[in-house]
Amino acid sequence: MKKLALLTLTALVLLGSVVSAESITVKGSDTMVILAQRWAEIYMAKHPGTVIQVTGGGSGTGISALVNGTTDICNSSRPMKKGEKDKLKIRFNSLGVEIKSAKDGLSIYVNESNPVKELTLDQIKKIYTGNFTNWKQVGGPDAKIILYSRENNSGTYVYMKDNVLGGEDFSPSAQNMPGTAAVVNAIAKDKYGVGYGGAAYAKGIRMVGVKKDASSPAYEPTAENVKSGNYPISRYLFMYTKSRPTGAMKEYIDWILSSEGQEIVVKVGYFPVK
């Protein structure tokens, strides 16, 4: 009998310690999921009392989860839309808090055999809206441009549409691929393809230099150029919380924004905010 009581007591103590561990759930952008996992792993190794769960699903999914109260932090590669802020306001009477956690340069890829080395923002816009359909219109060979795009729920798609296409629609002939890897893969196999996405170093593709306008120099999406803002297509990667972070969550976010957290950003292949 005594033994049983002791066992129960031990179990209760163990259970108590599990409950008392601070638990933070993070959900959202697929672009950021590797980065978020790396942050969580290293942070948890240093702070054994904190448990951080990271899942992907996409920026929209993450924001929905924040609105539904099923996640503490949501990752998003695009800013929150007005409708989403509305929902958050109705539910929690708060517009949410935006944290810029990293920077990302959006690269434009072509097949490595493609002689086109640089494009202006305007040319990219015309290519993707379907005004330019032949590579010779931008100084390339006489061949049809094959457009590769992302699915319309991707933060990258929304960013490209809002910031490079100026809100105009993509050409209907743009093929929607599930994920950056699929875009890269398709272009490596397609001599006249063009695509966009985060920095990717893969066999068979090349990133083109991007010029702000015809008279400015072209910049490659390197860490230097993205950080200095010379590379014209870069974006922030956001984290959102319902209210101003406190306690364990504040510690975690502060750590992400510290030089230690930002070093991990560089290791994963994105660019620091500071």
Partner 1 sequence: MKRKFRIGEFLIEQAIRSIAFVSLAMIVLIIIFVFRETFPIFSSHNAAPSVIAKEEVQETYGEPTSSSSVSANKGVDAVEGDASLKNLTGREWQPVSGQPKFGLIPLIVGSLKVTLIAILIAAPFGILAALFTSVFAPRWAQELMKPAIEILAGIPSVVIGFFALIVLASFFQNVFGYTYRLNAFVGGVALSLAVMPIIYTITEDALTRVPKVMTEASLALGATKWQTALFVILPAATPGVFAAVLLGIGRAFGETMIVLMATGNAAMLSWNLFEPVRSMTATIGAEMAEVVFGDTHYNVLFLIGSILFAFAFTLNAIAEVFIRQRLMKRFEGI
Contact positions toward partner 1, by CB under 8 A? Answer: 57-61, 64, 78-86, 89-90, 95-100, 103, 144, 146-147, 151-153, 157-159, 161-163, 167-170, 172-178, 186, 189-190, 192-193, 227-229, 232-236, 241, 244-245, 253-254, 257, 273-274
Both tokens assigned to 16: 């108590």
**Rounded distance, CA 173 to CA 163, Å?**
20
Residue 136 or 274: which CB sits closer to partner 1?
A: 274
Give ∠ CA 262-263-265 in degrees, rounded to 5: 60
* Closest distance of CB 19 from partner 1, Å: 28
Residue 47 or 227: which CB sits closer to partner 1?
A: 227
Residue 122 or 162: which CB sits closer to partner 1?
A: 162
* Closest distance of CB 34 from partner 1, Å: 19
* Closest distance of CB 37 from partner 1, Å: 20
Residue 16 or 178: which CB sits closer to partner 1?
A: 178
Residue 3 or 273: which CB sits closer to partner 1?
A: 273
Asked if 218 contacts 233 with a C-beta cutoff of 8 angstroms, the reply is no
Q: Report the chain's terminal Cα–Cα distance, integer Å.
A: 61
* Closest distance of CB 42 from partner 1, Å: 18
Residue 56 or 116: which CB sits closer to partner 1?
A: 56
Both tokens assigned to 150: 């992302």
Residue 20 or 259: which CB sits closer to partner 1?
A: 259
Query: Based on C-alpha coordinates, what's the Rg of the chain?
Result: 22
* Closest distance of CB 144 from partner 1, Å: 5
* Closest distance of CB 140 from partner 1, Å: 15
Amino acid in position 33: V
Of 170, 201, 169, 195, residue with least CA distance to 182: 195
Residue 43 or 170: which CB sits closer to partner 1?
A: 170
Phi-psi region of 268 (alpha: psi -120 to 50; beta: other; left: phi over 0): alpha
Amino acid in position 82: K
All residues at 6 or more sequence positions from 52 whose CB lies less than 8 Å from its CB, including other chains: 23, 24, 25, 26, 39, 40, 43, 44, 252
* Closest distance of CB 117 from partner 1, Å: 22
- Count of Cβ atoms closer than 10 Å to residue 114 Cβ: 21
* Closest distance of CB 18 from partner 1, Å: 29
All residues at 6 or more sequence positions from 114 whose CB lies less than 8 Å from its CB, including other chains: 135, 140, 141, 191, 192, 206
